[in-house]
Structure 1
Amino acid sequence: MSNKLPPDLVRHLQGDPHFDYNAFVSIHDKEQKTSSIRINPGKKFDLSLLDIEREVPWCDGGFYLNKRPVFTLDPLFHAGCYYSQEASSMFLDFVVRELKLNREPIRALDLCSAPGGKATLLSSALHKDSLLVANEIIKSRASVLRDNLVKWGNANVVVSNNDPSSFSRIPGYFDLAVIDAPCSGSGMFHKDHGAMDEWSMANVKLCSERQKRIIADSIATVKAAGVIFYSTCSYSKEENEDIVDWMIDTFNLESISVSVDDSWGIEVGKSDKHAATSYRFYPHKVAGEGFFCAILKRKEGLANFSLKKVKAEKNAAPQSLAQKWANMEGLYSFLYHDLLHIFPKAYEQDLATLQKVLYLKNAGTEIGRVVGKDLIPSHDLALSNRIHKDIPFLDLNLEEMLTYLRKESLSPSVNSKGLSGWIIVRYEGMDLGWIKAMPNRINNYYPKEVRIANL
């Protein structure tokens, strides 16, 4: 018997007659880190550059790696070609496809979004004309979330930095809400034994109360017939099935389910009170960490949100300037101070409304700073899937690109084409950022706040 696992947690799990306690303990006696990634379908690159072992069965574009690389030293990671995500949490991709939430444009909310795993997944899995709002309450984490979504390169994303209660101001607005709630973290014990020392039943109770508050404060934002994907990385019933039963008791919800392949090893269960379907991932049964999720649906009869007729403000953005740098099909440009952004035209009214009720960290893609009749291009534009492909570029080798990513000086010799002015730098065909070529030097415009250091 393991002396590491918290006794209170062990007693709870042993209460389930179907639970393989010995296998569970055995795998937790070894600290292991299964490495998995999810590729970005918007950025086509050579998959052979990654050390792929096999596919994640419940996620399109999810892969297990043979060994965990140093992601910081891979330019493809910085280019947003893939995201390092725990395989169990990729189950959201399967749910989106099974419920056909990718068949037509929807409005989706990722409520507790940082660092961005589920948000980048939704950005790929949903219909390309959907609107995604990714929210994070903690300011510093919201900045990380923004950076990861910028790498992903899509313009139909809003990043907000708000308390969940702020979303009650737009009731009946979202078709899908993902609530990956803060939890006691017991599902991470397999890969992080240090987390066992911080676990307690008191923290489980505290997390359960916090989860209820987050849900109660925000659930009104889901429209009638809208879907709620609730998840944690906890094994505790108090944070999982009990929360689901409480949601059904308290709000106008019903449980919905998807059919999973038995060979995947996912444990499909039922909550005690309402027999709501739940999905549990145990590391002795799946190639992944501990994870819980349930899918709920708001019943009909609720009033859905009607976009307020916000007084239209004159858009002074130089549209022709945006067209010079980006593919503007289906998009429009707007100015935030002197920064030019691009955003889906279909959601122009939505953005005006969201700006009224939320604090927005970012909206769409910032393409640059307007200076007179010209533009200083933004790093965000370099990573965008909408950047014009005929912009001058230079291919850098690995050593040169790591120098660039450290924001160190590049030798003028890398400018083998003799280009001048603003130039995109590429690695293996993937855009990573800007340089500006001068007669005798090259200026490195990689943002200092995301540069790699000490490597």
Structure 2
Amino acid sequence: MNEQHFPAHFLSSLSAEPGFESENFINAHQNPNPLTSIRLNPFKGSAIKTDGQVPWCADGFYLDSRPSFTFDPLFPAGCYYVQEASSMFIDHILKTIRLNNDDPIKVLDLCAAPGGKSTLINSAIGGNDLLVANEIIKTRVPVLCDNLNRWGTPNIIVSNNDPKDFGRLTGFFDIILVDTPCSGSGMFRKDPAAMNEWSEANVNLCHQRQERILADIYPVLNEGGYLIYSTCSYSHQENEDILDWLCSEFDMESLRIPINKEWGIVETQSNQQKAWGYRFYPGQVKGEGLFASVLRKRGQSDQPPSFKSKGHQKLALKEIELVKEYLNEPNDFYYFKVNDDWLAINKEHKESLDTLQRHLYIKKSGVRLGKLMGNDLIPDHELALSIAINKDIVLQTELDHNQAIQYLRRENIDLNINNKGWSLMNFEGHPLGWAKLLPNRINNYYPKELRILSSQPL
């Protein structure tokens, strides 16, 4: 690939950018096989062969080749997430922010689908912390929910709202990640088709949209809270110019994040406010294009904002006792119903859940346990993948690789059955979902919408 393959004026627009090396950049885009990286789920330990660690993320690893993830049962089990390495820098930012501060926090991932950064945030925070993963585009919400279900933690709420809808939640969140829609130049190597959509006019439109999104969400950040701003663009207008605008318009304070020079990340400062930013250029880092920064809302909040509770559902204690059996540490959870489904979320988040339900369109909250039929629970797929499940009270059936693929295709599985009832179907000890074991057959309850449809590569 040479200069002529890039959009007109693209390389010239980058020539004055801090740390930009044209020859390195062009050579990196000639590589037809970009790096493949995954991030392990720290809540579901598994031995996966890797080829070196992503230096800015303890759970991130490179692979020496790209396997067929569709046919690796550990992927739908939620043991890892396939994520571009540069994006994992958000983990380093979060851990820098949280250093020496263990107070419970509420985090918003504003533009969350498909879920890479949400699962990363969820790994970096604790169970006492709450993550709200919001996706603006309705059609992208299901894949976000699926990926968070696989990750398995109960301290998550998924919403489907426009940024302006959060305006009633003044000062609600302690950290907000805004990975804004952008012109996408950082993905040129990974997705060459993106070059056809790039233009200087689109960069300007993205800049205006980014300002609008940030202006809508700024009041929702608590005083003393942190705004993490990132794009997959190299354009100054979408990066350093936005930092200048945030610092001048809202008097935000820029934070400098410690980095190792060996990582190859370019540290920059904006022209006017000297706000710190971090640029990732292919050829200089082992990853794709990214810009990231973090700013603090000035002021100090001694008390989190209070929101009136409307009270909670009055539920039958007998039913609660039945569903509690399916969770480890059952008294740590708040139990509630949505239609006929029983759900549970960490007890400390029930007031936040109530507030969010009154102001937002909620698509997922905590972990969905299932439906009660008499004294029996018809378990939900979310429960199977949850790290909170009490495996001691359910049957478990271990599958080999071929059987696991049959299960994930929602096909019949030939097994010698000695038990009857609902069973977790496991691969290498990790649940994939549920099946009903009957005397003469197995009813496969893997969700239809998630089943493998493609042919297995030879």
* TM-score > 0.5, shorter chain as reference: yes
For residues 172 and 198 of structure 1, what CA distance do their matches in structure 2 show?
A: 37
**SS in structure 1 at match of 2:228:** strand
For residues 32 and 195 of structure 2, what CA distance do their matches in structure 1 show?
A: 12
Q: Which of 399, 406, 425 matches 2:402?
A: 399
**SS in structure 2 at match of 1:273:** coil
Q: Which moved more, 1:299-308 or 1:151-160?
A: 299-308
**SS in structure 2 at match of 1:206:** helix
Alignment correspondent of 2:137 = 138
8 Å CA contact retained: 1:187, 1:234: yes
Alignment correspondent of 1:433 = 433
Alignment correspondent of 2:358 = 356
Alignment correspondent of 2:315 = 316
Equivalent residue runs for 1:108-257 within 5 Å? 108-257=107-256
Alignment correspondent of 2:53 = 55
**SS in structure 1 at match of 2:4:** coil
8 Å CA contact retained: 2:3, 2:11: no
Shift in Å at residue 187 of structure 1? 0.3
Residues 303, 142 of structure 1: alpha-carbon distance in 2 compared, 3 angstrom cutoff: farther
**SS in structure 1 at match of 2:95:** helix
**SS in structure 1 at match of 2:364:** strand
Unaligned runs of 5+ in 2: none
Residue by residue over 1:130-150, the C-alpha shift from the partner in whole angstroms, topping out at 9 and shown as x without a partner, is 000000011121111011000
Residues 17, 408 of structure 1: alpha-carbon distance in 2 compared, 3 angstrom cutoff: closer
For residues 150 and 200 of structure 2, what CA distance do their matches in structure 1 show?
A: 38
Alignment correspondent of 1:38 = 39
Q: Which moved more, 1:75-84 or 1:370-379?
A: 370-379
Shift in Å at residue 17 of structure 1? 6.9
Shift in Å at residue 304 of structure 1? 6.9
In the superposition, the TM-score normalised over structure 1's length comes to 0.96
**SS in structure 2 at match of 1:77:** coil
Shift in Å at residue 29 of structure 1? 2.6
Shift in Å at residue 301 of structure 1? 6.2
Alignment correspondent of 2:283 = 284
**SS in structure 2 at match of 1:7:** coil
Residue by residue over 1:107-147, the C-alpha shift from the partner in whole angstroms, topping out at 9 and shown as x without a partner, is 00000000000100011101231000000011121111011
Shift in Å at residue 372 of structure 1? 2.9
Residues 410, 3 of structure 1: alpha-carbon distance in 2 compared, 3 angstrom cutoff: same
8 Å CA contact retained: 2:18, 2:266: no
Equivalent residue runs for 1:346-425 within 5 Å? 346-390=348-392, 391-411=394-414, 413-415=415-417, 418-425=418-425
8 Å CA contact retained: 1:233, 1:290: yes
Length, aligned pairs only: 449
Equivalent residue runs for 1:90-101 within 5 Å? 90-100=88-98
Alignment correspondent of 2:265 = 266
For residues 264 and 227 of structure 2, what CA distance do their matches in structure 1 show?
A: 23
Residue by residue over 1:243-286, the C-alpha shift from the partner in whole angstroms, topping out at 9 and shown as x without a partner, is 11111111131101111000000000100110000000001100
Residues 195, 365 of structure 1: alpha-carbon distance in 2 compared, 3 angstrom cutoff: same
8 Å CA contact retained: 1:245, 1:276: yes
Alignment correspondent of 1:325 = 326
Residues 319, 277 of structure 1: alpha-carbon distance in 2 compared, 3 angstrom cutoff: same
For residues 251 and 410 of structure 2, what CA distance do their matches in structure 1 show?
A: 53
For residues 60 and 212 of structure 2, what CA distance do their matches in structure 1 show?
A: 33
**SS in structure 2 at match of 1:361:** strand
Calculate percent identity across the aligned residue pairs: 46
Equivalent residue runs for 1:61-100 within 5 Å? 61-100=59-98
Shift in Å at residue 398 of structure 1? 0.6
Q: Which moved more, 1:274-283 or 1:292-301?
A: 292-301
**SS in structure 2 at match of 1:315:** coil
In the superposition, the TM-score normalised over structure 2's length comes to 0.95
**SS in structure 2 at match of 1:53:** coil
For residues 67 and 113 of structure 1, what CA distance do their matches in structure 2 show?
A: 27
AA at the equivalent of 1:80: G
For residues 35 and 18 of structure 1, what CA distance do their matches in structure 2 show?
A: 24
8 Å CA contact retained: 1:223, 1:303: no
Residue by residue over 1:16-59, the C-alpha shift from the partner in whole angstroms, topping out at 9 and shown as x without a partner, is 47421111112123333210000001102223xx3x10000100
AA at the equivalent of 2:20: F
Residue by residue over 1:269-327, the C-alpha shift from the partner in whole angstroms, topping out at 9 and shown as x without a partner, is 10011000000000110000000011100000679763322221333152212222111
8 Å CA contact retained: 2:395, 2:421: no
**SS in structure 2 at match of 1:132:** strand
